[in-house]
Amino acid sequence: MDNYDVVVLGGGPAGLAAALASNECGGKTLIIEREKLLGGILKQCIHDGFGLIRFKEKLSGPEYSGRYIDMVLEKDIDVETSTFVTEIKKQGEEFLITIVNSKYGVKKIKAKAIVLANGCRERTWRQVFIQGTRPAGIYTAGTAQYFVNMMGYLPFKKCVVLGSGDIGLIMARRLTLEGCTVEGVYEAKSTPSGLSRNIAQCLDDFSIPLHLSHTVTRVFGDDRLNAVEISKVDEKMIPIPGTEKIVECDGLVLSVGLIPENEIAESLNIKIDRKTKGPFVDQNLMTGLEGVFSCGNALHVNDLVDYVSESGEIAGENAAKYAKEHKDRKLIRMNADSKFLYAVPQYIDINSLNQKVIAYFRSRDIRDKMTVKLLYDGQVIFSRKYNKLKPPEMERITFDISKLNLKDNGEINIVMEG
Ligand SMILES: Cc1cc2nc3c(=O)[nH]c(=O)nc-3n(C[C@H](O)[C@H](O)[C@H](O)COP(=O)(O)OP(=O)(O)OC[C@H]3O[C@@H](n4cnc5c(N)ncnc54)[C@H](O)[C@@H]3O)c2cc1C
């Protein structure tokens, strides 16, 4: 049986960065990827805008992932593509992983630590309760992107985009460039869900209208979609009767959110945070189950790939260190108040050698001139002022706990004032 220090599940940007960091720390490392090629979702993101923080360059998705793939292939890192993990079991201090592929059939592998870097999936129309028949022509934005960018098919002539998430905005532009008429982007919330730069570059520059506080309430068509019903919604996002209008189209693109993919974490009974939909983790990105780490979009949905790679590095480095030796954790809670959508990590291991914490958070609402503070035992241990905080834009802070004398019965509270 093959034995590894670290097995990384998923070969997207998070998994690639995790494997490199694990290898750098001397960990014998394997990447398992279910698709034929490494690169994750970036393979189909042919637009630019990746890597501005990391490489100070505007790269396309394949260019960004290509740089990491080259680095991985240069190192002594094993890679199994077209390989599916069917089961992971904890056996004493180690993990027994069952994989299936056409090379070996069923095979078992042992690992001292696991990094979950398996990304996220898109919400479907069943999850947003649209009524009507089940005609062809309704796709999630990622599927439409796969059709256009990878297969070279244009799936619609005239479409409506539901949801103003980044993938929907990018697809509105992409479909327009390919000759499709994008009638408009409809968003149930009163503010856009995507990054401001994407609203400007994907909608405003192409005169694609954005209709806030609107949603699709019904679809029409037998074999093929031929129209959708649009309604205005109130502040609780409930459709307002009498505001319905029919828009003829042969395509509906859904960009209504992403959810971390966590079947494997759940099968290991790892506790999932209701807010992030990813596992609870400490500053080393170790989950509630010793030896299992989580990063990238499997941990929480990121808007910038640079932070995905950063979290992969943290998880990979700490997984390799854990595989060599580890001591008991002493976890204290890090709680974000109700003004935050979420904050990660949710725990701090005060016994860890790593005393530097990188935390990511999102504000629940758009807020001007706010101060974010970290409080421990009533004392302010970190404070930063923000001119504007917006839910679509994830924020990152770093702080050092080495001089704080944190006690195992304490907790850190993240509050927003202003
Ligand atoms: C359409 C779109 C546009 C974007 N635009 C930008 C942009 O302009 N700029 C930017 O910075 N960021 C952008 N992002 C965000 C960024 O690309 C993602 O946050 C990032 O790719 C997530 O990386 P990941 O490694 O966590 O997940 P993924 O890239 O999804 O990789 C996860 C990998 O895990 C594999 N996997 C899943 N389950 C298993 C399993 N059980 N066994 C084996 N393998 C498994 C999957 O096949 C996949 O390859 C965009 C994202 C999308 C979807």
Residues 108 and 132 occupy one common structural domain: no
31: region left, alpha or beta (phi > 0 left; psi from -120 to 50 alpha): beta
Give residue-wise pLDDT tens across range 132-157.
778 899 999 999 999 999 999 999 99
End position of a domain, from candidates 326, 350, 379: 326
Give residue-wise pLDDT tens across range 95-129.
999 999 999 999 999 999 999 999 999 887 666 66
Average pLDDT, the chain: 94
Torsion of CA 221, 224, 227, 231, to 10 degrees: 80
Q: Could you tell me the residue range of the domain that residue 147 belongs to?
A: 124-256
What is the DSSP track for 260-282? Answer: E--HHHHHTTPPBPTTTSSB---
CA-13 nearest atom, ligand 1 = 25
pLDDT for 130 equals: 74
Q: Which pLDDT band holds residue 418 (cuts at 50, 70, 90)?
A: confident
End position of a domain, from candidates 326, 342, 367: 326
pLDDT for 257 equals: 85
Q: Phi and psi at residue 122, in whole multiples of 5°?
A: -90, 145
Q: Tell me how crowded residue 289 is: count the other CB atoms within 10 A of its CB.
A: 16
CA-43 nearest atom, ligand 1 = 29
pLDDT for 350 equals: 95
Token pair belonging to 112: 């001292």
Residues 142 and 219 occupy one common structural domain: yes
Q: Best mutation site among 16, 42, 52, 393 for ligand 1, i.e. most ligand atoms within 8 A of its Cβ?
A: 42
Residues 109 and 198 occupy one common structural domain: no
Residues 64 and 17 occupy one common structural domain: yes
Measured in Å, residue 28 CA sits from the centre of ligand 1 at 24
Token pair 């790892």 is found at 270
Residues 86 and 188 occupy one common structural domain: no
Q: Which pLDDT band holds residue 38 (cuts at 50, 70, 90)?
A: very high
Contact criterion met (CB below 8 Å) for 174 and 154: no
pLDDT for 377 equals: 86
d(CA 103, CA 101): 5
- Residue count (the chain): 418
Residues 309 and 348 occupy one common structural domain: no
The answer for residues whose C-beta is within 8 angstroms of residue 306's C-beta and 6 or more apart is 50, 51, 52, 53, 54
Strands (E), 263-400: 292-294, 331-336, 340-344, 347-349, 356-363, 367-376, 379-389, 395-400
Give residue-wise pLDDT tens across range 165-180.
888 999 999 999 999 9
Residues 112 and 2 occupy one common structural domain: yes
Say how many domains are in the chain.
3
The SS3 call for residue 103 is coil
Give residue-wise pLDDT tens across range 389-404.
999 899 999 999 998 8
CA-65 nearest atom, ligand 1 = 21
Give residue-wise pLDDT tens across range 312-365.
999 999 999 999 999 899 999 999 999 999 999 999 999 999 999 999 999 999
Measured in Å, residue 166 CA sits from the centre of ligand 1 at 13
Contact criterion met (CB below 8 Å) for 351 and 37: no
CA-48 nearest atom, ligand 1 = 8
Rounded to an integer, the average pLDDT of 27-53 is 95
Residues 116 and 214 occupy one common structural domain: no
Kindly tell me the burial class for residue 364, based on how many C-beta atoms sit within 10 Å of its own C-beta (0-12, 13-18, 19 or more).
Answer: middle
The continuous run of DSSP H or E covering 198 comes out as helix 196-198
End position of a domain, from candidates 256, 282, 313: 256
CA-44 nearest atom, ligand 1 = 1
CA-198 nearest atom, ligand 1 = 8
Measured in Å, residue 416 CA sits from the centre of ligand 1 at 30
Which parts of 58-165 fold into alpha helices (H)?
A: 61-74, 141-145
The answer for residues whose C-beta is within 8 angstroms of residue 138's C-beta and 6 or more apart is 125, 219, 225, 251, 252, 254
Contact criterion met (CB below 8 Å) for 358 and 282: no
For residues 327 and 131, which has the higher predicted lDDT (pLDDT)? 327
d(CA 374, CA 412): 7
Q: Best mutation site among 47, 60, 305, 313 for ligand 1, i.e. most ligand atoms within 8 A of its Cβ?
A: 305
The answer for residues whose C-beta is within 8 angstroms of residue 239's C-beta and 6 or more apart is 215, 217, 231, 232, 233
Residue nearest (by alpha carbon) to ligand 1 atom 10: 304
Residue nearest (by alpha carbon) to ligand 1 atom 45: 10
Q: Which pLDDT band holds residue 16 (cuts at 50, 70, 90)?
A: very high
Token pair belonging to 29: 């490392």
Give residue-wise pLDDT tens across range 215-254.
999 999 999 999 999 999 999 989 999 999 999 999 999 9
Residues with CB under 6 A from ligand 1: 9-15, 32-35, 40-42, 45, 49-50, 84-85, 117-119, 142, 145, 166-167, 170, 261, 264, 296-298, 302, 304-305, 308
Residues 305 and 368 occupy one common structural domain: no
Which of 308, 260, 307, 316 has its CA nearest to residue 284?
316
pLDDT for 201 equals: 94
Q: Best mutation site among 16, 31, 45 for ligand 1, i.e. most ligand atoms within 8 A of its Cβ?
A: 45
d(CA 311, CA 359): 10
Residue nearest (by alpha carbon) to ligand 1 atom 27: 119
Residues 129 and 240 occupy one common structural domain: yes
Measured in Å, residue 39 CA sits from the centre of ligand 1 at 8
Residues 251 and 265 occupy one common structural domain: no
User: In CATH, what number is assigned to the domain containing residue 407?
Assistant: 2.60.40
pLDDT for 138 equals: 93
Kindly tell me the burial class for residue 322, based on how many C-beta atoms sit within 10 Å of its own C-beta (0-12, 13-18, 19 or more).
Answer: buried
**Residue 269 CA: distances (Å) to CA of 175, 266, 279, 306:** 41, 5, 10, 29
Which of 229, 252, 249 has its CA nearest to residue 241?
229
pLDDT for 165 equals: 87
User: In CATH, what number is assigned to the domain containing residue 292?
Assistant: 3.50.50.60
Residues 247 and 302 occupy one common structural domain: no
CA-263 nearest atom, ligand 1 = 41
Measured in Å, residue 180 CA sits from the centre of ligand 1 at 26
Q: What is the pTM of this model?
A: 0.93
pLDDT for 127 equals: 61
